[in-house]
Amino acid sequence: MSTSADSAGRTPSIARTAAELSAAIARALETAAPAQGAATLGLVPTMGALHSGHESLVSTARGQNDVLVVSVFVNELQFNDAQDFARYPRTLEADVAILARAGADIVFAPEAAEVYPDGRPLIKIDSGFLGSKFEGASRPGHFDGMLAVVAKLLHFAMPPATLGVPVSYRAYFGQKDAQQLVLINRMVADLNYPVEVRSVPIIRSAEGLALSSRNQFLTKEQATAALVIHRALSLVKERADRHEPLYLEDAAGLFEMEPLVELDYFELVDPRTLQELAFNCQDTPFTGEGLLLVAAKVGEVRLIDNMTLGY
């Protein structure tokens, strides 16, 4: 297995088309696959504008796979706001430099026409009720568009059947986008994708703000105000760790003290089904497992974050 030490610093090969990607994967696997046993291939889908959160995903995948592909594609289908799509940062050159450092073997950076040669797909993946709540309620169509591209990327990076040794195929996603992760796990299970989904924890700034490519649009004042998200999540997490009642409304009340931050939702759910859990009553100490989801708008920037409770 190649390690991050072997491949860190080498310029990754850049594939612009699906054919180039398949050829690059086949070549890289032939070189890196062990003589015996299964080879491993990791895929990390991103929209670029890479930060330390992405780097953590890439380094984790690097350490676990013989060959590592990172895709960089700003997927118009998952933007329900044309302005948000237009201004989404595109920084491929800087991204490739980061990916070289993090040890990616191949960067897949296709044009939209390569991914959607016939324009918007006519046949759609419906994210169902899991995709209609929380982020889906505020961003109609977002999750269908996200699943459309992930379904395609998983195909594009599929290991060749002709290698001679079996290839274990893994795809990596961040816990930062918790609802996305639940949906991708369901899609992979429901549509029998031959891939194992792996997740990595949220990377935050030293002050607690979850890293996001959109944070660069926050003023200093807004970024400071946005720390209320982490304060509210942590307050509930501390109560959960002590098996106390959670008093979600009281934690959500912290947002009222930050006029720059407009709370969208602050909700405790089952980590697998996203069904709301009620642990608010005075006499109900928290037990079991929960996922606390939050979304808020700071100026024009929508921020999401979450914390797992009871783990």
Provide the annotated active-site residues: 54
By beta-carbon proximity to ligand AMP, the closer residue of 28 and 209 is 209
* Stretch in the footprint of ligand AMP (CB under 6 A) among 51-59, 129-137, 269-277, 278-286: 51-59
Minimum CB separation of residue 287 from ligand AMP in Å reads 28
d(CA 149, CA 102): 24
| Strand residue runs (E) in 18-111 | 39-46, 67-72, 106-108
Q: Which of 24, 57, 106, 246 binds ligand AMP (CB under 6 A)?
A: 57
Per CB under 6 A, 56 contacts ligand AMP: yes
Q: Which of 7, 40, 60, 212 binds ligand AMP (CB under 6 A)?
A: 212
By beta-carbon proximity to ligand AMP, the closer residue of 202 and 226 is 202
Q: Measure the CA angle with vertex 87, ends 83 and 92; round to 5°.
A: 145
Per CB under 6 A, 47 contacts ligand AMP: yes
- What character string, x for contact with ligand AMP (CB under 6 A) and - otherwise, covers 147-176? --------------------------xx-x
Per CB under 6 A, 110 contacts ligand AMP: no
By beta-carbon proximity to ligand AMP, the closer residue of 222 and 306 is 306
d(CA 182, CA 168): 21
C-alpha pair distances (Å), 263 with each of 236, 290, 302: 16, 20, 10
Cβ atoms 55, 102 nearer than 8 A: yes
| Strand residue runs (E) in the chain | 13-15, 39-46, 67-72, 106-108, 167-174, 196-200, 261-269, 290-298, 301-309
- What is the number of alpha carbons within 13 Å of residue 119 lying toward its C-beta? 1
Cβ atoms 24, 68 nearer than 8 A: no
Per CB under 6 A, 304 contacts ligand AMP: no
Per CB under 6 A, 295 contacts ligand AMP: no
Partners of 77 in the β-ladder:
none
Total residues in contact with ligand AMP, by rule CB under 6 A: 17
Residues at the contact surface with ligand AMP, assessed by CB under 6 A: 46-47, 53-54, 56-57, 173-174, 176-177, 200, 202-203, 210-213
